[in-house]
Chain A
Amino acid sequence: MLRAVVIDNGLHYLEHSFRSNDAVAYRFERIGAEFDPVFDGADILIVPNGSDHIAMLRVREKVARFLDAGHALMCFDGWFTNWVPGNRWIMDNSRPTRDVRYAVVTDRHGVMDGVEIDTLIFSHGISGWWACGYIEPNPAAHVLLADTWGRAIAVIDEVSTPGTIILTASGPLGDGSYDGEAGGPGLLYHNLIGYIARRGAHHERNRATL
């Protein structure tokens, strides 16, 4: 079982999006005036939609150490402060949402298996609901999804740090928040968790071999 720390910005709906289950045990770190989160024992740091990027900027060295230790970061929000190593998110409202479409660019780990990309593009027939703005990724990172204009909106970065950085351009993902939608964003989230679990098992085997 993976152990995940979820950054908690005091939003009322967060606990519904990250309920512990057989695959992941979630622990919440609530932001306050003296935010000093504990990541010890965690495999994944999750920064969900609606997070506090002033607080994250103040703890960016702790995040960097977490990644340097080989762990995983999942940020499903727009990080307007520079706390994510190697990658920048930029808001942009100049493109009409009716023109937004997504395409898979590179899926090395099969995280889009079974995911209906139209569930990310459309909600009740309306396009452009999921991501906002775009990511300027580390050029060596792998872009999972790009938008109509070829801009990265989901990235898996295994090069900026010894850890794994999974980013969406504020496209919300969660564990249980999309239950009931076959092939929807919930499946993408679970596939990403599966990838991190496999990656962790691979590292454990290598460590044992060494």
Chain B
Amino acid sequence: MSGIGLLFNGVWSHYAFATAPKYRGLYRLIYIHDLTRESIASLDALAIPFQSNHEAIARRRDIIYEFLAAGGKVFVEGDSSPAWIDAQWSDRPVNNWWWVTEPNNPPVADTDYAHPLFQGLAPRHACWHTHGVYTRVPEGADVLQRNGDGEIITWQTTRYGGTLLATTLDPIVEHGVGQITHLDNFCDNLTAWLCGVRPEPGTMTVDADAFGIDRFG
């Protein structure tokens, strides 16, 4: 099977996103504590959402870097840890009401709209809020987004073989939470970039039958 492995730590927003009818054929939930080389060998990409357990990820970092070395893509959103990624994430207050009080001053000031992740997006669709910044990124990394202070929001590097892209945006968590209605735009771009398949157009819905399960995996 090809597709995207969503490394998750039992958080419900990750689960809601990956089990949504629109995305469930393209994402496979992989419980981080059960991650093995074999469980991701046939995948195109890995997605590591915000609210992940970075201590658990760090213990399995070799598996992730072997996946990258084989040419896979890895997407990291929200925070991260230098215990497994050669970069420094730093927390900042979250402003998720700017679009009410300062609609012309979004948290991201510069975006590389030539990158497939952002192609065709309106500025508002390319940033809803950020969870901190990167104060250090790997040598030679390309910066794709900065905030108004010039701090790094999104970057990517190919130094490990495949592409590692990290952002302090949190599209998977927020789309799973369902409180921001325009995230189909970003998440469809993200999915197409990660696995080469664009989800069917339309709004993500939730499958109520997927909730209250007695077994997983």
A residues with CB within 8 A of B: 9-12, 30-33, 35, 50-57, 77-82, 88-94, 96-97, 123-126, 128-129, 132-133, 170
Contact A12 B91 (CB under 8 A): yes
The residues of B that contact A80 with a CB separation of less than 8 Å are 12, 15-16, 210-213
Contact B213 A82 (CB under 8 A): yes
- Mostly, the B contact residues are loop
Contact B206 A81 (CB under 8 A): no
Known: A31-B53, A89-B212, A91-B206. A78 touches B179 (CB 8 A): no
Contact A51 B56 (CB under 8 A): no
B residues with CB within 8 A of A: 9-13, 15-16, 31, 33-34, 51-56, 79, 91, 96-97, 100-101, 177-179, 181, 204-206, 208, 210-214, 216
Contact B97 A91 (CB under 8 A): no
Contact A81 B213 (CB under 8 A): yes
Contact A82 B53 (CB under 8 A): no
The residues of A that contact B100 with a CB separation of less than 8 Å are 124-126
Cα distance A149–B26 in the bound complex, in angstroms = 33
Cα distance A175–B82 in the bound complex, in angstroms = 29
Contact A91 B16 (CB under 8 A): yes
Contact A129 B179 (CB under 8 A): yes
Cα distance A96–B53 in the bound complex, in angstroms = 31
Contact B12 A53 (CB under 8 A): yes
The residues of B that contact A90 with a CB separation of less than 8 Å are 208, 211-212
Shortest Cβ distance from B81 into A: residue: A12
Contact A91 B211 (CB under 8 A): yes
